[in-house]
Amino acid sequence: MTDDLDDPQWLSAAALGRAYASGEVSPVEIAEGLLGRIEALDAKVNAFCVIDSGATIAQAEASQDRWMAGAPLSPLDGVPVAIKDLLVTKGWPTLRGSRTVEKDQPWGDDAPSVARLREAGAVFIGKTTTPEFGFKGTNDNTLTGTTRNPWDLSKTPGGSSGGSSAALAAGFAPLALGTDGGGSVRIPASFTGTYALKPSFGRVAAWPLSPFGTLAHVGPMTRTVEDAALLLNEMAKPDARDWYQVPNTVPDFLAALEQGVKGARIAYCPTLGWAKGVDPEVAEAVRHAALAFQALGAQVDEVDPPLEDPSEIFRTLWFGAAGQYLGPLPEEKKALLDPWLRHMVEEGLKYDLPRFFEAQLARGRYGAAMRQWMEHFDFILTPATAVPAFGVDRMSPGDTDPYWLWMPWTPFSYPFNLTQQPACSINGGFTSAGLPIGLQIVGRMFDDAGVLRAARAFEAAHPEHHRTAPGF
């Protein structure tokens, strides 16, 4: 998290680009250094499920040749990126954290976001762990085991993009790709003190389409807001395989990054009107963040949207999709699933078409009401998660019904998958135990640049939040 060339594992993507251009460091040096760091330390964290040193070094060597010739493909040429194991990657298996996926098959395609980064010359450092098919908010599976939080190895990094966030927090890569169907880039960013953006739905192309349909987003995960903007510049480029993708009217997400939030209208929503069990230290950190935005020149009003808890809508769509996607598996394959995932699949199979259709209609009404309410505000400010990171052996922080898995402690994330708005998590401070606290900033639909700008203003005002995990 510095520009110090004596500590290259913490260089940002932007700093690496400058160092490559000046010749102070090379893509091969960085790739070799990070691979060595992963070999030495990832046994403690378990962030990666695929490492292919030969392929990584070959990409770095090709990038080095381009920089030496003065012909880099993009500002991200030679920059290492970690890829969540839900995103198909040419030449590498994508097992989705599941024993039901056959490893021995052709792996000949890149997901759109992966393809855009390959075209940009990024160096793929490895694939990161995920809970099975990304179904929960913690990060373990029966195939590759449990991923731990670099801030405290007894804690979870969150999920389902927990491997990507852990890799960032441990200094294994400056960039990572994640997916978010109900909070899956924001939850782990909150728990690991990193940055993640769930873009507006359709901003980043997805293929194959997620079984969770239009709830699912592909997003950049980084250690700095600037790096997220750089990454989104490449990820948002078009791919005809996703017919949901919208035309990108923001060719450069860096352009307005430093314009601040003076005059912006912000709704500070401590509970969104329904969230329960918000940790007092989390609540206090978000309150201080609201005051910080006010000091930066924004108009901040403490107000909750006049909307009801949409958890039943989300639950129906989430469980129903899981049932339809995995229900057809033969019994011998179902027996290999995580028991809680199988339970969710069986429950989802009970949902009939009228129930699912009514949930879709209710989602439409909820999204329309939220969009109308946001005509009065530029941004919403909430906790990213109701709690800080908890024990690595748990699916929830307390005695909540495990059947719900993660929804009781993530009441701030899934509503914005329903509405498809851009939303990010940025580190908003630390608990008394030294664990990061995530701050969520939500923008109007398609105002991804605005969310990045607001996050950057907060980041610049609070450099003390920008630190590394102890021991890493």
Residue 2 counted as domain residue: no
Q: Where are the beta strands (DSSP E) in 121-164?
A: 123-128, 140-141, 145-146
Q: Which of 451, 449, 453 is nearest to 440 (CA)?
A: 451
Hey, how many other C-beta atoms are within 10 angstroms of the C-beta on 335? 12
At 325 the pLDDT is 95
| CATH at residue 169 | 3.90.1300.10
402 pLDDT above the threshold of 80:
no
- 16 with 78: CB under 8 angstroms? yes
Q: What is the pLDDT of residues 164-196, one digit of tens each?
A: 999 999 999 999 999 999 999 999 999 999 999
Q: Which residue of the set 160, 190, 210, 425 is catalytic?
A: 160
Are residues 129 and 51 in contact, defined by beta-carbon separation less than 8 angstroms?
no
**Peptide bond before residue 208 is cis, with ω within 30 degrees of 0:** yes
Give the separation between CA 144 and CA 140, rounded to whole angstroms: 7
Average pLDDT value for residue range 35-44: 98
Q: Looking at the domain assignment, is residue 471 inside a domain? A: no
Please state the rounded mean pLDDT for residues 368-383: 98
| Residue with more model confidence, 402 or 269 | 269
Q: Is the pLDDT of residue 139 over 70?
A: yes
Cα-based angle 109, 95, 86 (whole degrees, multiple of 5): 65
d(CA 395, CA 249): 40
Verify whether residue 26 is a known catalytic residue: no
Output the pLDDT for position 2: 53
Domain that holds residue 306: 8-465
In the numeric block, which tokens belong to residue 198? 């769930």
204-215 per-position pLDDT tens digit: 999 998 989 999
Work out the average pLDDT over 10-31.
Answer: 96
* DSSP structural state of residue 247: P
The mean pLDDT value for 198-227 works out to: 96
Supply the pLDDT for residue 143.
97
Q: How far apart are the first and last CA of the chain?
A: 12
DSSP state for residue 219 in the 8-state scheme: E
Residue 376, Cβ neighbours under 10 Å: how many? 11
Tokens encoding 232: 């989104």
136 is a catalytic site residue: no
Both tokens of 419, joined, read: 């509405």
* 349: its two tokens: 């199979």
Q: What is the distance between the alpha carbons of residues 273 and 419, in angstroms, rounded to a whole number?
A: 16
d(CA 318, CA 345): 10
Q: Residue 409 gets which letter from DSSP?
A: G
State the pLDDT at residue 7.
Answer: 83
The answer as to whether 23 is a domain residue is yes
Residue 430 lies in a domain: yes
In DSSP notation, 71-97 reads --SSTTTT-EEEEETTS-BTTB---TT
- Dihedral through CA 385, CA 390, CA 392, CA 397, nearest 10? -80
pLDDT, mean over the chain: 96
Q: How far apart are CA 117 and CA 221, in angstroms?
A: 14
pLDDT of amino acid 8: 83
Sheet holding 80-84, edge to edge: 48-50, 123-128, 80-84, 175-180, 217-222, 195-198, 423-430, 436-443, 379-383, 265-268, 299-302
User: Looking at residue 167, what is its pLDDT?
Assistant: 98
d(CA 389, CA 158): 7
| 345, containing H or E segment | helix 339-348
Instruction: Select which of 164, 184, 210, 396 is catalytic.
Output: 184
For residue range 50-101, list pLDDT tens digits in order: 999 999 999 999 999 999 999 999 999 999 999 999 999 999 999 999 999 9
Alpha helices in 349-407 (DSSP H): 353-373
**pLDDT at residue number 399:** 65
In a domain, 198, yes or no: yes
Tens digit of pLDDT for each residue in 284-298?
Answer: 999 999 999 999 999
Q: How many CA atoms, within 13 angstroms, populate the side-chain half-sphere of residue 253?
A: 29
Residue 470 belongs to a domain = no
pLDDT tier, 5 (very low <50, low <70, confident <90, very high otherwise): low
CA distances from 35 to 60, 82, 292, 403 (A): 12, 12, 39, 38
Residue 203 confidence (pLDDT): 97
Strands 217-222 and 195-198: antiparallel
Q: Tell me, yes or no, whether 3 lies in a domain.
A: no
Quick: pLDDT tens for 298-313.
999 999 999 999 999 9
Q: Is residue 234 situated within a structural domain?
A: yes
Percentages of the chain per state (helix, strand, coil), in multiples of 5: 40, 15, 45
- For the cut 90, the answer to whether the pLDDT of residue 9 exceeds it is no
The C-alpha atoms of residue 66 and residue 82 are separated, in whole angstroms, by 21
Give the burial class of 343: count Cβ atoms within 10 A of its Cβ; 0-12 exposed, 13-18 middle, 19 or more buried.
Answer: middle
Q: Number of structural domains, the chain?
A: 1
Active site residue 165: no
3-state class (DSSP) for residue 270: coil
Using CA atoms, how far apart are residues 109 and 400, in angstroms rounded to an integer?
Answer: 40
pLDDT at 406: 84
Q: How confident is the model at residue 44 (pLDDT cuts 50, 70, 90)?
A: very high
Q: Which residues are within 8 A (CB) of 289 and not within 5 positions of it... i.e. 6 or more apart?
A: 381, 428, 429, 439, 458
Q: Where is 62: in which H helix or E strand?
A: helix 53-68
Q: What is the pLDDT of residue 334?
A: 96
